[in-house]
Amino acid sequence: MDFLRPASWEEALAAKAEHPTAVPIAGGTDVMVEINFDHRRPEYLLDLNRVGDLTEWEVGEDTVRLGASVPYTRIMEDLRGELPGLALASHTVASPQIRNRGGVGGNLGTASPAGDAHPALLAAGAEVEVESVRGSRLIPIDAFYTGVKRNALAADELIRAVHIKKADGPQQFSKVGTRNAMVIAVCAFGLALHPETRTVRTGIGSAAPTPVRAKTAEEFLNAALEEGGFWDNGKIITPSVAKQFADLCAAACNPIDDVRGTASYRRHAVGIMARRTLTWTWESYRGTAATTEGAA
Amino acid sequence: MRVNFTVNGRPQEADDVWEGESLLYVLRERLGLPGSKNACEQGECGSCTVRLDGVPVCSCLVAAGQVEGREVVTVEGLADYAKQRSCGHQAPEGHDSHTGEGTELSPVQQAFIDAGAVQCGFCTPGLLVAADEMLERNPNPSDADIREALSGNLCRCTGYEKIMDAVRLAAARQGEAV
């Protein structure tokens, strides 16, 4: 094994081009487990800790450009306003020690369907900025996950940052596990209201080969909210609409039975989480709307 | 490969380090610092918690090569680290700051003893490092704060109530001292 220590992003890209089999390591919270357990013996480890700008973020007009190695601790403490869904998801990652090291770039690189960041990224809307010596490109989050622990990266590419849409409405994240800390998701659900476009977006974790959106459920809900004038009248969402939305979210799953839970449990739990997160966010949206009217 | 870094205030050089080796292995097997414990090797248990540039991390998940030029504090250096923090200067000579031999205990270590928070002792070093860091950030923690700060440290004797007592005691003593 060889340990490559690029001092800059350019050096990192050059190293990855020269050694396409090199495994990038930043927080190490996935990669080191595989090495410690002898599940993986990469020819090269490509340490990204010395590339300082990977731990920085910029808040722009419409998006946050989040460096691939920004630790979850920073996201949950410093980006709660701009990225509430991702901040909630970050807070459910493992433990303080792990959140101090791990970041979204690692979640995307590993591309496990159980990665906690994925449902939040899918719901908020995001693009992954990847780069190689050949150039840079933005991959829409919907096209990023290509299979179980597979992503759209080419062999010579590295993840530099994620461009995440700033919240324009309430967002929620929900995760099922056996306890509150140190737990890999049995399944997870992210939901974001986007009042500016009058749309709702979702993200499902750990209930399909890849993280997925419940697109049929989104289309149904978008139409139902529009027809009922809900965005304007701020009424409580009709229970039958919430139920139909939950059923469609459950139907969007393609889960397996494994040690953490059965497929039917996952489907059931995703439906419950869909209804709850919809209720929480919608109540928050109505509350905000009411406050605005009251204050005006 | 060779790795140069600072451990408990002292420059260290580890030689013949395998590229896939963890910081934990280097501390325990190459530098003679067995205070950080090796249990799960997957970041689940927190027994190997150390400070890396001040931040609590699982040393089993840090690749040795990643600590080049950086500062690590282990449980062996915790007493001096706490002392420097409270006095704002170097700890007095006359003991070994590296291994912790002959050092007075830090307030959090003393509190663990006084509260009976040590049973088999295996989880204790990680808990001490995590608890000390929380008290540095948050001098008046609520029970929820303590639980969250220690949520990455498992005690399989399940002595959590005494551990909670110990951290409350350390916080109370810290408050009195100010």
pTM score, two decimals?
0.95
Chain segment A187-223, per-residue pLDDT in tens: 999 999 999 999 999 999 999 999 999 999 999 999 9
Domain that holds residue A74: 57-165
Query: How are the residues of chain B apportioned to helix, strand and coil, as percentages rounded to the nearest 5?
Result: 40, 15, 45
Number of folded domains that form chain A: 2
Nearest to A100 among B41, B57, B151 (CB): B57
Q: Does B152 touch chain A (CB under 8 A)?
A: yes
Domain ranges for chain B? 1-178
Q: What is the CATH number of the domain that holds A76?
A: 3.30.465.10
Q: Are residues A279 and A184 in the same domain?
A: yes
Chain segment A88-100, per-residue pLDDT in tens: 999 999 999 999 9
Strand partners, B58: B49
**Test mutation, A1, A3, A183, chain B, max B CBs within 10 A:** A3
Would you say residue A296 has pLDDT above 90?
A: no
Q: What's chain B's average pLDDT?
A: 94
49-88 of B, contacting A, C-beta below 8 A: 49, 55-58, 60-63, 65-66, 68
**Distance, in angstroms, between A98 CA and closest chain B CA?**
7
Confidence of residue A294 (pLDDT cuts 50, 70, 90): very low
Q: Are residues A195 and A122 in the same domain?
A: no
Q: Are residues A196 and A256 in the same domain?
A: yes
Tokens matching residue B119: 């049973």
Q: Are residues A94 and A157 in the same domain?
A: yes
- Cα torsion A12, A15, A19, A20: sign: positive
Q: Does A33 touch chain B (CB under 8 A)?
A: yes
Domain covering B1-178, topology: Ubiquitin-like (UB roll) (3.10.20)
Q: Note whether residue A1 is domain-resident.
A: no
Let me know the angle formed at the C-alpha of B124 by B118 and B128, rounded to the nearest 5 degrees.
115
Q: In this complex, do B152 and A29 lie within 8 Å of one another by their Cβ atoms?
A: no
ipTM score of the complex?
0.94
Q: Where are the beta strands (DSSP E) in A81-226?
A: 126-132, 135-140, 145-147, 150-151, 158-165, 171-176, 187-194, 199-205
**Distance, in angstroms, between B140 CA and closest chain A CA?**
18
Q: Are residues A222 and A240 in the same domain?
A: yes
Q: Does B164 touch chain A (CB under 8 A)?
A: no
Could you tell me if B125 and B60 are in contact, meaning their C-beta atoms sit under 8 angstroms apart? no
The domain boundary, picked from A165, A196, A225, lies at A165
- In B, minimum Cα distance to A95 occurs at B152
Q: Note whether residue A189 is domain-resident.
A: yes
Q: Which residues of B touch A47 (CB under 8 A)?
A: 63, 65-66
Q: Which residues of B touch A182 (CB under 8 A)?
A: 44, 151-152, 154
Q: Note whether residue A70 is domain-resident.
A: yes
Q: What are the CA-CA distances from residue A25 to residues A49, A55, A128, A138, A273 (Å)? A: 8, 13, 18, 21, 33
